[in-house]
Amino acid sequence: MDWMAWTLPTALFFAAIALLLAGMTMWELHSPGAERKGFLPIDTTRGDRLFIGLLGSAYLHLLVVGVTDWSVWIASLLSLLWLFAVMRWG
């Protein structure tokens, strides 16, 4: 049976997601957030925006890698910028 190869970048990626989720949980427990309306067409909480931002970042990353010949680092940067924009202004 073949197992997934846990390379350093893969492990760091999943560790960063886990830390982000743990940090958001602690933040929500310490200071509960309220729903607000930003540029997204629905009222969202911090957790909603994190989920939408992560999902959108994944699709954006796949789109850039699949449709352009840009470096994967550019795709990663664009994805992080999207996540930041959704968390800040979404």
Considering the entire predicted model, what is its pTM? 0.80
On whether residue 37 sits in a domain, the answer given is no
Q: How far apart are CA 27 and CA 46, in angstroms?
A: 10
User: Along the chain (90 residues), what's the average pLDDT of each consecutive run of 10 residues?
Assistant: 73 88 92 88 90 93 92 89 92
User: For the chain, what is the domain count?
Assistant: 1
Q: How far apart are CA 61 and CA 76, in angstroms?
A: 6
What pLDDT sits at residue 1?
Answer: 60
What pLDDT sits at residue 2?
Answer: 67
**φ, ψ at 36 (rounded to 5°):** -145, 165
Q: How far apart are CA 51 and CA 6, in angstroms?
A: 24
**Range(s) of the domain holding residue 75:** 8-32+43-89
What pLDDT sits at residue 13?
Answer: 84
On whether residue 57 sits in a domain, the answer given is yes
What pLDDT sits at residue 10?
Answer: 77
What pLDDT sits at residue 11?
Answer: 83
CB burial class (10 A; 0-12, 13-18, 19+) of residue 90?
buried
What pLDDT sits at residue 34?
Answer: 86
On whether residue 38 sits in a domain, the answer given is no
Longest dimension (CA), the chain: 48
On whether residue 78 sits in a domain, the answer given is yes
